[in-house]
Amino acid sequence: MTGDAELHAAVTAVIERVGVDTTTPATTIDTGVWTALTDAGFTGVGIGEDLGGAGGQFTDALTVVSAAAGSGALTPFIEHTVLAAWLAARSGLDLGGRTATLALGGEGITARATAQGWTLDGLLPGVVHACEADVLVVHFASSVALVSRTTPGLTLYHGTDLLGASVDDVALDTVVVEHLTDSPIDSEELRLRGAVAYAVAMSACADTIIETTVRHASQRTQFGRPLSGFQAIQQRLASMAASAAHSRAAVEHAVEMAGNPDHAGTIAAAKIVVSSTAREVAAAAHQIHGAIGFTSEHHLGRFTMALLAWRDRHGDEKYWSQVLAGRELEDGIDPWDLVVDADHTPSRATPGAANL
């Protein structure tokens, strides 16, 4: 569990009351859960009340992420609350109670002033939950725009990840935007927020996988005794638990350091750890469960597919390893000092990290 225990318990209770369909791959988000979270005000957590949110800190939003992921609920909470709604609020844009998702356009999006207003052209690749969103918060260059999903000129090329969540390419052809303004947040900061949020979600899934697999190994009998009585299974379970604990420690440290101006290093480390251990944890769980764990109806697949699908969301372990190594070398730190844990103080902070 990550974050405040009472908030975590409250979110979990809401989700359990509604119920989650863990059939995998999913055909859509858990609409009932998303509606319940919205009605309870949880989708505004981490956004200041003065900005139209429910208040609370970034760590509170990550607690909701942990509870939702650990319960197996498929919702656009990270895309909406952690990223899109937060960016819109910081930019002074009102979503009007609509569900939003973040679309990173980079330099591939062009804006033009026309008689109808500002228009956008270009391609937005891999927009998560675009099908379920009412509005896209498009970040490109140093600007941010609100684009209705149903506006003329916008075309969705539908795709899904291993979990069944929509991951769509969005083509913009002279699309008139609702609002366009300068962005106070850069793309690297958005990537950091997304990376730590998915690291939290993956750690929560790993913990649920361990709990599920230990229970199965204790209840399932083979040759007259539980699977957990076999040494090979015990070793596999121990290895899984060690990987999950490693991930949990890295993630919890990243969350604890959320207010540190030089937060990027701990986020990179957390995403490296959870992404690099995802395959091992998922594979071991399926090996111990056997054939039943591969059926679409068994809830194990909801969590193992989440681990694999989210492994490269907002950067995989290779990407963040390169980022982390580059930062340390730019700081003039001897790599050997990192190996032996020599005391050192970074010479700079990552721009914008304090805004997390």
| Residue 276 pLDDT exceeds 60 | yes
- Strands 117-128 vs 167-176: parallel, antiparallel or unpaired: antiparallel
Tell whether 100 and 223 lie within a shared domain.
no
Residues 38, 171 share a domain: yes
Within this chain, do residues 146 and 263 fall inside the same structural domain, yes or no?
Answer: no
Residue 88 identity:
A
As a whole number of Å, the end-to-end CA separation of the chain is: 21
* The pLDDT value given to residue 345: 52
Strand partners, 222: 225
What is residue 113's predicted lDDT score, i.e. its pLDDT?
Answer: 95
Question: What is the rounded CA–CA span in Å between residue 170 and residue 223?
Answer: 54
Average confidence (pLDDT) over 25-31: 95
Range of the domain at 137: 5-182
Q: Could you count the other beta carbons within 10 Å of the beta carbon of residue 186?
A: 15
Say whether pLDDT at 353 is over 80: no
Domain boundary among 161, 182, 203: 182
Per-residue pLDDT band at 355 (split at 50, 70, 90)? low
Q: State how many domains the chain has.
A: 2
Residues 95 and 147 in one domain: yes
Look up tokens 């609370």; give the residue.
Answer: 56
If asked whether residues 163 and 212 sit together in one domain, one would say no
What's this model's pTM, rounded to 2 decimal places? 0.91
Angle between helices 264-289 and 231-256 (to 10 degrees): 160
Residues 193 and 331 in one domain: yes
pLDDT at 258: 79
> Residues 35, 87: one domain?
yes
CATH code of the domain containing 271: 1.20.140.10
∠ CA 152-158-162, rounded to 5°: 155
Residues 158 and 193 in one domain: no
Boundary residue ending a domain (150, 182, 214): 182
pLDDT of 342 reads 60
pLDDT for the residue 351: 46
DSSP string covering 240-288: HHHHHHHHHHHHHHHHHTTT-TT-HHHHHHHHHHHHHHHHHHHHHHHHH
The C-alpha angle with vertex 206 and arms to 340 and 274, in degrees rounded to 5, equals 35
What per-residue confidence (pLDDT) applies to 340? 72
Residue 41 shares a structural domain with residue 106: yes
140 - beta bridge partners?
143
Question: Which of 78, 74, 81, 59 shows the shortest CA–CA distance to 25?
Answer: 74
The DSSP output letter for 84 is I
Angle, helices 264-289 vs 300-310, to 10°: value is 140
CATH assignment of the domain containing 20: 2.40.110.10
Per the prediction, the chain carries an average pLDDT of 92
Write down the pLDDT at residue 257: 87
Reading the block at residue 136, the tokens are 């896209």
Structure tokens at 247: 């991930």
Tell me what percent of the residues of the chain surpass a pLDDT of 70: 94
Categorize the per-residue pLDDT at 250 as very low, low, confident or very high, splitting at 50, 70 and 90.
very high
Do 201 and 334 belong together in one domain? yes
Task: Look at residue 331 and tell me whether its pLDDT is greater than 90.
Answer: no
Pair (51, 146) in one structural domain: yes
Question: 344 pLDDT exceeds 60?
Answer: no
Last residue of one domain, picked from the residues 142, 165, 182: 182
- Residues 129, 240 within the same domain: no
